[in-house]
Amino acid sequence: MNKAINSPFRYAGGKFYARHLILEHIRPHHTYIEPFAGGGSIFFAKNKAKHNCLNDLDPELTNTYQIIRDSPQDLINTLEGERALKERHAFYKNEFQPSNDLERAQRWYYLNRTSYSGIMNMKNCYWGYGDKFSMRPENWGANILRTSQKLQGVQITNMDFETLIDNITIEQNAFLFVDPPYFNADQDKFYTCSFTKQDHTRLAEVLKRNAHKFQFLITYDNSPEVRELYNWVDTILEKEWNYTINRTDDQKKTQENTESIVKKGERYKGKEIFLMNYEVIKQMPLLELAFENS
Ligand SMILES: C[S@@+](CC[C@H](N)C(=O)[O-])C[C@H]1O[C@@H](n2cnc3c(N)ncnc32)[C@H](O)[C@@H]1O
């Protein structure tokens, strides 16, 4: 199966709302690689390449991808009859002790689908399901099956980005979509693996020394430090998009004065830079074109 589908997971820092802006800059390739896959929203939104690789350092996430790819029906069976309830969330979070990879995936999937913003760092993993805006448990089976179809033949790896990137060869004709944790945000709140300033420097270095082997697009928060780390790339574009965050009634109670916004979901603006090691054809704003022609 090759059609565009949504990510199977809710994922903090996921690129779902920016997917069209990113897809338009992806270059032709034989091999598609995401070194920081997370919820994989770009992989799921694009056509599959001949070879595809999703990598992430979080072993619970990559185990869940592997189980969905290889044993979707077993996962569906373990979640059969499950209901989205705060008590079940607390049970999976605090009591359930997985004894094999299937049970690890069962726990991870349940918590991911029912936690606020899909935050899976256990220190910040809170109940965040709402019937109106979350995928209902009766639809989880179909979600797992269509994801499994798209994951057939996809290589799923669990390693640090540096090892992965250093091992890419020119012959693979690869395109990398690189979406690391933000430079200036406390990402340790969201993810189970921490990412230090040194890791950001390490990433810029590994991309620089391998840049002749593949094309890449990396997304980051717009900061002077990032621009300095990547002062050698061919293109930097500033991008903006809108997105909404829905909150459960519990979370809403803590907020005053926001009922009318909250009902529809709160609106935010995403602002990032895209950095590429290739030139893009600039689309000039209409006004600029009109001025040039006059
Ligand atoms: C911003 S998220 C990726 C979001 C993803 N693009 C999406 O659309 O859902 C960053 C990811 O990097 C992973 N990560 C953190 N440190 C890593 C490392 N050293 N190597 C590989 N992955 C890492 C985290 O587990 C997290 O899933």
Per-residue pLDDT reduced to its tens digit, 148-188: 999 999 999 999 999 999 999 999 999 999 999 999 876 66
Q: Is 160 in the pocket of ligand 1 (CB under 6 A)?
A: yes
How far apart are the C-alpha atoms of 181 and 190, rounded to whole Å? 9
pLDDT over 50 (residue 289): no
Q: Is 56 in the pocket of ligand 1 (CB under 6 A)?
A: yes
**30-39, 85-94, 267-276: range with lowest mean pLDDT:** 267-276
Percent of the residues in the chain that have a pLDDT greater than 90, as a whole number: 73
Of 11 and 260, the structure prediction assigns the larger pLDDT to 11
- The reported pLDDT for the residue numbered 89 is 97
Question: So what's the architecture of 16-245+271-293 in CATH?
Answer: 3-Layer(aba) Sandwich (3.40)
Q: Name every residue whose Cβ is closer than 8 Å to that of residue 278 and which is 6 or more positions away in sequence.
A: 27, 215, 234, 235
pLDDT over 70 (residue 287): no
What is the residue-averaged pLDDT of the chain?
89
**13-27, 137-151, 268-282: range with lowest mean pLDDT:** 268-282
β-bridge mates for residue 51, sequence order: 31
- The reported pLDDT for the residue numbered 254 is 46
How far apart are the C-alpha atoms of 200 and 180, rounded to whole Å? 8
**What backbone torsions phi and psi does residue 240 show, to the nearest 5 degrees?**
-135, 145
Q: Name every residue whose Cβ is closer than 8 Å to that of residue 172 and which is 6 or more positions away in sequence.
A: 30, 31, 51, 213, 214
The stretch 228-243 carries a mean pLDDT of 93
> 248 with 127: CB under 8 angstroms?
yes
What's the chain's length in residues? 294
Give the number of the atom of ligand 1 that is nearest the alpha carbon of residue 56: 22
**Which of 26, 36, 187 to mutate to test ligand 1, by most ligand atoms within 8 A of the CB atom?**
36
How far apart are the C-alpha atoms of 56 and 157, rounded to whole Å? 7
**Res. 256 pLDDT band, cuts 50 70 90:** very low
The stretch 53-74 carries a mean pLDDT of 98
Q: Which of 100, 101, 41 is nearest to 69 (CA)?
A: 101
**pTM greater than 0.85 (yes/no):** yes
pLDDT over 90 (residue 282): no
Q: Which two tokens stand for residue 232?
A: 């050698």
